[in-house]
Amino acid sequence: MVHTLSGRLRPTDLLEFHRLMVRTRVAEERVELLQKQGHPVGALYRSLGQEAGAVGAAMALRRRADGSGDVLAPSLRAAGAMFAFGATLEDYFRQYLGRSTGPTRGRESDLHWGDPERGILASVTPLGLMLEVMAGVALTFRLSDEDRVALVFHGDGATSTGAWHEGLSFAAAQRCPMVLVVEHNQFAFGTSTEKNTRLRSFTEKAEGYGIQAQEVDGTDVLQVLDAVHAAARRARMGEGVQMVELRYFRRRGHAQHDAQEYVDPAVLAEWEARDPVLRYRTWLLEQGHASEEMLAAVVAEETKDCEVAAERALAESVPQGSDALSEVTSDPSPLPPWTRRIPPDPRTV
């Protein structure tokens, strides 16, 4: 273990992984609570069961707050990666609640926001596009001889898209220093992976692009950390695109509307028994890195932090409707529609 990153971590570092996974979970639970309370929150794509993948992968990278570190593009189930990169709970709740103070000023929803200085690029819904875009981020690092990597998360469903293929074709040919994380969580919306592909593992796809790939247990945060760290290291050394496939299970529906009736309860129970947070918690206790009290305190603190951040966001303003006119391009904002001007003047439509 000494040759791996995890083998060199201090106890305080080890506890940080636990904290970030807990933060992810309680933050998502807080969004669910806000919705139950009647606040519009948009879509919530739970990462229950996938927290270790997001946290482990992001913690393997160089995290900086001045725009000089590695860059990641999260998927909609990689909130943990954003937190690991320093994304704040304040921004997290402002975004769900569509606040004017939020990172997209109410223009976008769920995890589609970024923090460029911290190395988080805002992702978009159409699948595969972030692979194309991150290929260009990584290309820039190579062209300018910067010792940085770009990491992109995509669910296994995205691997069927043309954009994923085109982005990877380009990135592989250009030897871009990129880590491609395939979140193999068994489902694309309501369709199982086995119906979407004949492959057993997405590392088989990697062969077709001439890139290296590794498959890891996505519920084991330190295994993910080591795999992504090694992949990032190879990418930094000029070995081009690296794929890491995370094997785990999406334990909630696609979003709130999906009751996941298509999932066998017995299978779900198996994966609940492999819960990444519980699993890591047990390991920390067994290894003597933490006490029950310490870990319970983390849950209490994170829960409180989420409550405070959510309350704060709720107290902040929603955008003026007319803000919808601004920042479409760099040109000055157009006039409001004439029917919105008082008094409406037909000669100045």
**Binding status of residue 97 toward another protein by CB under 8 A:** no
Rounded to the nearest whole angstrom, what is the least distance from the CB of residue 330 to another protein in the complex? 4
Rounded to the nearest whole angstrom, what is the least distance from the CB of residue 144 to another protein in the complex? 8
Residues in the chain: 349
Task: Please pick, from the candidates 83, 141, 153, 271, the single residue that binds another protein as defined by CB under 8 A.
Answer: 141
Task: Please pick, from the candidates 80, 167, 253, 276, the single residue that binds another protein as defined by CB under 8 A.
Answer: 167
**Binding status of residue 70 toward another protein by CB under 8 A:** no
**Binding status of residue 137 toward another protein by CB under 8 A:** yes
- From CA 33, how far away is CA 276, in angstroms rounded? 22
Token reading at 37: 């309370």
Contacts of residue 15, Cβ cutoff 8 Å, sequence gap at least 6: 284, 289, 290, 294, 298
Residue with tokens 């194309």: 132
CB 153 within 8 A of CB 128: no
Binding mask 270-309 for another protein (x = CB under 8 A): ----------------------------------------
* DSSP 3-state of 7: helix
Torsion of CA 248, 23, 38, 313, to 10 degrees: -140
* Contact window for another protein (CB under 8 A) among 30-38, 115-123, 189-197, 252-260: 115-123
**Binding status of residue 126 toward another protein by CB under 8 A:** yes
Q: What does the DSSP 8-state code read for residue 224?
A: H
Task: Please pick, from the candidates 53, 69, 74, 114, the single residue that binds another protein as defined by CB under 8 A.
Answer: 114
**Binding status of residue 339 toward another protein by CB under 8 A:** no
Site for another protein in 214-273 (CB under 8 A): none
CB 250 within 8 A of CB 78: no
Task: Please pick, from the candidates 103, 155, 218, 240, the single residue that binds another protein as defined by CB under 8 A.
Answer: 103
**Binding status of residue 174 toward another protein by CB under 8 A:** yes
Tell me, rounded to whole angstroms, the distance of Cα 64 from its chain centroid. 17
**Binding status of residue 173 toward another protein by CB under 8 A:** yes
**Binding status of residue 111 toward another protein by CB under 8 A:** no
Task: Please pick, from the candidates 237, 297, 308, 349, the single residue that binds another protein as defined by CB under 8 A.
Answer: 349
Report the 3 state secondary structure along 152-205.
EEEEHHHHHCHHHHHHHHHHHHCCCCEEEEEEECCEECCEEHHHHCCCCCCHHH
**Binding status of residue 136 toward another protein by CB under 8 A:** yes
Half-sphere exposure of 320 (CA within 13 A, CB side): 5
The closest of 274, 153, 292 to 220, measured between CA atoms, is 274
Residue 294 identity (one-letter amino acid): M
First-to-final CA distance of the chain? 70
Rounded to the nearest whole angstrom, what is the least distance from the CB of residue 218 to another protein in the complex? 26
* Contact window for another protein (CB under 8 A) among 14-22, 57-65, 129-137, 226-234: 129-137
**Binding status of residue 129 toward another protein by CB under 8 A:** yes
**Binding status of residue 107 toward another protein by CB under 8 A:** yes
Query: Which parts of this chain interact with another protein (CB under 8 A)?
Result: 71, 103-105, 107-108, 112-114, 116, 121-122, 124-126, 129, 131-141, 143, 150, 162-163, 165-171, 173-174, 327-331, 349
